[in-house]
Structure 1
Amino acid sequence: MTAPLLDVRDLVVEYPRSGARRRPFRVLDGVSLDVRPGETVGLVGESGSGKSTLGRAVLGLAPVTSGTIRYDGRDISRLGRSARRALAAEIQVVFQDPYSSLNPSLTIGETLEEPLRVQRVDPAEARSRVATLLDQVQLPADAVHRLPREFSGGQRQRVAIARALALSPRLVVCDEPVSALDLSTQARVLELFREIQERTGVAYLFISHDLGVVRHLSHRVAVMYHGDLVETGDGDKVTSAPDHPYTQRLLLAAPVADPVRQARRREERQRVAASQK
């Protein structure tokens, strides 16, 4: 079996509370998770479950209280700023809001060239790379001269994806990257993620509250509840016939177009919730 590209072991993340005698708030409680090269692992849970905190810890944006995060065999749990900046060439992120994650005063070309300039890429090579990126995410070449406000939400998210791919990373943390988009745009962006992975071999840690979203993309799925992983396994299995009652509730909460099926789901969700009390 291929060695993990990302290997999280017994990860604990705590935040202090006000008051000298109050115990810190534990967001992640001994979480273990791995992502292999070229694989998508979906991390699913409701708001407050800790799933985004795990992604932030991988990116160095959340403090690691204990446990380890290893990338390609190297412990990155507590890297300094310069070492973390160097690692940005291999680990990137796509956030939820495609507008707030882009500088509104920079053109798309300037936005995409920025990470390349930080890595001291030759200007001519950077411009060529930007043209390639726009083609990969199916945006017109003249987008380099336009501002983010001139694009739709789905197009702005494509720009965010292009920026994440600028340095040819091996791992991208996707934190609710389609939740702000309408359903038809979601489908197109998810297909874009899949096409890019097939072409480049990039791995994704794909964070979402929606089992229906991760079903289309994930090889494996991990379900988080109150800072713990309660179920992990094959993507098709976990998203269609889960074993854990919490995952069953998440599945039943996903909307369907048929009103009769939706009513049955609502009744079943209430039954599962009542059985857990």
Structure 2
Amino acid sequence: MNPLLQVSKLRLSYPGRGFRSAAPEVLRGVSLDIAPGETVGLVGESGSGKTTLGRAVLGLAAPTSGSITFDGNDITAASQRERRKLARDIQVVFQDPYTSLNPALQIADILSEPLIAQGQKPADARRSVTALLDKVGLPADSAARYPREFSGGQRQRIAIARALALQPRLIVCDEPVSALDLTTQARILDLLIDLQRETGVAYLFITHDLSVVRHISHRIAVMFRGELVETGPTAQVTEEPESNYTRRLVLASPTADPDRQRQRREARRMLSHSASTT
């Protein structure tokens, strides 16, 4: 099966702060692919470059070299007009459900806005809102309410409904559950899994939490300092990691068992000591 999204040898630098300062390279030759209907979890610590990769796929950050191909078409340097067309196929769910929704708009306006922007008549777009709310498990009367009237988990469901409005083939999920409590996290992850089974949408799921990507991903890619250090099936990467960095991430994942947590801390300490002496 041909990949839906293919990132090849992507490099990206941001301008330096001073007049003569060198441009720091955030992505260093990253290659990644996602098949139709697949979830690839992109995991790494803060500053690893994972969000920058997501922004590059969305056209919000311009690569310095390499290529991004979607459904066989090179979109690396797509124009604004081409990006508007791509919005039908590539959508995003941002991290913070409190700031990603316009507080001045009712939910009906938020959900119908992308449909109208793509040429749908306002009346037809409004009729689609009820179906979208039902798809993410919210009552129809939510349409007449404002974002402030919902909890964090409910707001993220609304953000997911907005991303689904155009029936995209790929959704970039940038830390979509990190601002939520653990119970709500589990519900949102289960919702994303159910929606994928129903619609066949693919996800690039960006997070710092290995336990989260273990729950939702078919494959995991681990990023460290702008490079992918390990990629493979979820079970392989989380249970038998090849990279020392991945091993440290696995050992850093919290567990409810205090004895196991103590063992993990000791193993992480030994791994860090071994790395510092080699």
Same-fold call, TM cutoff 0.5: yes
TM-score (norm 2): 0.98
Q: Name the residue aligned to 2:242.
A: 243
Q: Name the residue aligned to 1:258.
A: 257
Q: Name the residue aligned to 1:76.
A: 75
Report deviation, 1:124: 2.9
Report deviation, 1:188: 0.4
Aligned-CA RMSD value: 0.8
Residue 134 of structure 2 aligns to a residue in which SS? helix
Would you say how many aligned residue pairs link Structure 1 and Structure 2?
Answer: 276
Percent of pairs with identical residues: 63
Q: Name the residue aligned to 1:97.
A: 96
Report deviation, 1:262: 1.1
Q: Name the residue aligned to 1:11.
A: 10
Unaligned stretches of 5+ residues in structure 2? none
Q: Name the residue aligned to 1:163.
A: 162
- Residue 58 of structure 1 pairs with residue 57 of structure 2: yes
Residue 7 of structure 2 aligns to a residue in which SS? strand
What aligned pairs does 1:19-30 form with structure 2 within 5 A after superposition? 19-30=18-29
The separation in 2 between residues aligned to 1:181 and 1:75, in whole angstroms, is 36
Letter in 1 for 2:270: R
Report deviation, 1:123: 2.4
Deviation string 1:34-90 (CA, Å, 9 cap, x unpaired) is 000000000000000000000000000011100000000111111111111111011
Q: Name the residue aligned to 2:140.
A: 141
TM-score (norm 1): 0.98
The separation in 2 between residues aligned to 1:26 and 1:70, in whole angstroms, is 21
Letter in 1 for 2:40: V
Unaligned stretches of 5+ residues in structure 1? none
- Residue 39 of structure 1 pairs with residue 38 of structure 2: yes
The separation in 1 between residues aligned to 2:239 and 2:179, in whole angstroms, is 24
Deviation string 1:167-189 (CA, Å, 9 cap, x unpaired) is 00000000000000111100000
Q: Name the residue aligned to 1:174.
A: 173
- Residue 204 of structure 1 pairs with residue 220 of structure 2: no
Letter in 2 for 1:53: T
